[in-house]
Structure 1
Amino acid sequence: MLFIGSYAEAEGPGVYVYELQTDTGELRQLDQVSGLKNPTFLNVDEQNQRLYALTEAAVNGGKGGAAASYQIDISTGKLRELSREVNLESTTCHINRDADNKYLVVSSYHGGTVGLVALNGDGTIGELVDTKQHTGHGADPERQDKPHVHSAFFSPDGRFLFVSDLGIDIVRAYTINEANRTLEFHADTHLPPGSGPRHLAFHPSAKYVYVINEVNSTIAAFSYNQEEGRLTALEVVPTLPEDFQGENTTAEITVSQDGRYLYGSNRGHDSIVVYSINQDSGTLTYVEHVSTEGGHPRHFALTPDGSLLIAANRDSNNLAVFRVNKETGQLTFTGQTAKVSKPVCVKPVQFS
């Protein structure tokens, strides 16, 4: 199944469920959910068959962040709402969940904040238990005038939470104090001025971390010390061809399940860049650029078996499905597409 979040008005559909045929790449819609304003990012709890979606809510006369939870009927793909709760006083752009299903973590680009939200055992969303406000600004006067928290990802062992702040060129690591249910500062990793870190991906070996930078269209590679929860810079590579002259911002980044290849999306060049990963050093070697067959690839994802990549093109209102050559890392468009209004996030899940 494929779960899609989008920009949408509450009156219309915003979260979609599709069936994906991995042999052909064909997509067939199973369900759609209305009632959420801009449910842009999703998180799927495969084990408990639940979906968590961001949404907007009225807070103190302005726009704030909220989250909704759904039960997934894996036989039909239908979604049943379990709960909905307001959390941050500013709108949110990313949602994640710890492996023990104790917390949701929500990120606010406009507020420069990260929030820790309690998660109940029945999948309903609890209260906001802690918030951390970032401060400062970056080198770019337009894009980095203030903090812009864009995402939060847990380390593979769950001990550390890495928060990318586009506005201040920092990936900030936190730990969770279980006794107090608070986020505790651990360490900052500084990126080159004007980078604008957006999302990151861990290598399956947990030896390396890759950060895609939205403002200057680069990927920063780091070695990762699992015990200390610290990143050490290795190199920075471009996401764009040398001869590209237009405007561009990056979006999503992921590493193949076997750890051999890295993929990142360009919005402007409207492409996926592919790099191979040196398993001994973590450094990157360019493979290719592939058109996403649409405009503004806000997000993309590999299927659980690694055979397909699905790109969500927001401005052309379509999903595009690519076949992955696992030996070379290269992508081939399958010809399969689906029309979806302003897709922002795509989450493929194989339920057992």
Structure 2
Amino acid sequence: MITYAYVGCRTSKWRGARGKGITVFRIADSGEWEQIQCIPSIQDNPSWLTLDAKRNRLYVLHGDGDRVAVFNRDPETGRLSLRNDQTTGPRHTNPDLEAARRNNPVSSALTPDMATLLIANHEGGNVAALPVNDDGLDKPAHFSCIEGHPATDDTLPTLSRPHEVVFLPGSDLFAVPVQGRKAGNGIDMIRLYRWAGTRAFLSDEVRLTPGSWPRHVDFHPNGKWLYGISELSNTVTVFDVDKDGGSLTVKQTIGTLPEGYNSRSDASEVEVHPDGRFLYAANRGHDTIAVFHINPHDGSLNLAGWVPCGGKTPRFTTLSPDGAQFYSANEDSDTIQVFDVDAATGMLAKTDVVIPSASPTCICFA
């Protein structure tokens, strides 16, 4: 069976990027990647991709922008063609925000019924709900707005910045890591929402250390635990998940860097292995993947070691669906490094497969 990989990237001069558009690769049985298409998108930075397997579509967010593009995907050839595009919502009214970043959509996920695309608008301070239609996407029908601490000036609108949307598999619950950046007087926290058909309702909120900047999350396959990575504190926080009550409880916080490491490094990505025994955390600056073993009884983490990412600035990582391979999108070395996963220990072994890819930021497979 032929497998295709779709790679998003940054393209803007403002980001110092080198990407040209969404790149499509055919992956051979040998594991070699062959580029078959590079398609420009409608705005700079087609940096986050969400696959719609039901409709053979790809939804593409434009980081620093304010649009989401909808591409048709040919299942026989893997190639993409633009179907339509849609706004992700209006710009937030806080005057301290950087004008160059607009709404800055950074992550999206389809609801369990595949009827709505949820988008985390980082600079917009909200999660937007866009109904899916035959032509692509409708305009946002609802916004879950995320405010910050009350401002000294009561007239100044506040916001906190969502950075990802991740559903608990088989559930209507989804988690949103939220960053409390200075502009907007934001709050660092993890929010848990429940999707109710046409809109989201806040179910729980756990505040984390100010200045930690929660970035990404991943649920354990058993649904009992949630793992969140914070980029400035370089930590992974483990939460117990109460699915029925829709709540989170902090269990553990553990660092992603070696003790005594004092150079700049920002954690980026967290991945739980499909078999639930291992967790991977990416470090931009230290340029490593931290490997953890997951305690099967309580979900807590034990550090197993660090593996060099094979490049510079591992902004995005992912695992193959079967968990046999691990991929590191190294943004500042313009490469995707492929690793084999040791099924017994979870450790990563660097392979000879290195894919040239300018400023890569996201990978998805079909």
Q: TM-score, normalised by structure 1?
A: 0.89
Q: Which residue of 2 aligns with 1:105?
A: 118
Q: Shift of the alpha carbon at 1:267?
A: 0.5
Q: Is 1:15 paired with 2:22?
A: yes
SS across alignment from 1:125: coil
Q: 1:45 aligns with which of 52, 61, 66?
A: 52
Q: Shift of the alpha carbon at 1:64?
A: 4.5
Shifted more, 7-16 versus 169-178: the winner is 7-16
Judged with a 3 Å threshold, the aligned counterparts in structure 2 of structure 1 residues 153 and 81 are, in CA distance, closer, same or farther, namely same
Q: Which residue of 1 aligns with 2:132?
A: 119
SS across alignment from 1:41: strand
Q: Is 1:268 paired with 2:275?
A: no
Q: Shift of the alpha carbon at 1:146?
A: 5.5
Question: Residue by residue, what CA displacement relative to the aligned partner does 1:272-302 show, whole Å, maximum 9, x if unpaired?
Answer: 1110101111011111111111111110110
Q: Tell whether the 8 Å contact from 1:42 to 1:53 is kept in structure 2 after alignment.
A: yes
Which letter maps to 2:62?
T
CA distance in 2 between counterparts of 1:104 and 1:150 reads: 15
Q: 1:250 aligns with which of 259, 264, 267?
A: 267
Q: Shift of the alpha carbon at 1:348?
A: 2.6
Q: Which residue of 2 aligns with 1:68?
A: 69
Of all paired residues, the percent bearing the same amino acid is 30
List gaps (5 residues or longer) in structure 1: 57-62, 139-144
Structure (1 or 2) with the greater strand fraction? 1
Which letter maps to 1:75?
E
Which letter maps to 1:2?
A
Shifted more, 103-112 versus 252-261: the winner is 103-112
CA distance in 1 between counterparts of 2:260 and 2:135 reads: 49
CA distance in 2 between counterparts of 1:125 and 1:205 reads: 32
CA distance in 1 between counterparts of 2:364 and 2:32 reads: 16
Q: 2:104 aligns with which of 66, 91, 96?
A: 91
Q: Which residue of 2 aligns with 1:281?
A: 298
Question: Residue by residue, what CA displacement relative to the aligned partner does 1:194-252 show, whole Å, maximum 9, x if unpaired?
Answer: 32111100000001110011110000011111111211111001111113221111111
Q: Which residue of 2 aligns with 1:133?
A: 145
Q: TM-score, normalised by structure 2?
A: 0.86
CA distance in 1 between counterparts of 2:284 and 2:65 reads: 26
Which letter maps to 1:42?
L
CA distance in 1 between counterparts of 2:25 and 2:116 reads: 27
Which letter maps to 1:101?
M
Which letter maps to 1:34?
P
Q: Is 1:156 paired with 2:175?
A: no
Q: 2:228 aligns with which of 188, 196, 211?
A: 211
How many positions carry a matched residue from both structures?
333
List gaps (5 residues or longer) in structure 2: 91-102, 151-157, 181-186
Q: Tell whether the 8 Å contact from 1:87 to 1:127 is kept in structure 2 after alignment.
A: yes
Question: Residue by residue, what CA displacement relative to the aligned partner does 1:294-346 show, whole Å, maximum 9, x if unpaired?
Answer: 11111011011111111111111111111111111000110211111111111
Q: Which residue of 2 aligns with 1:28?
A: 34
Q: Which residue of 2 aligns with 1:176?
A: 195
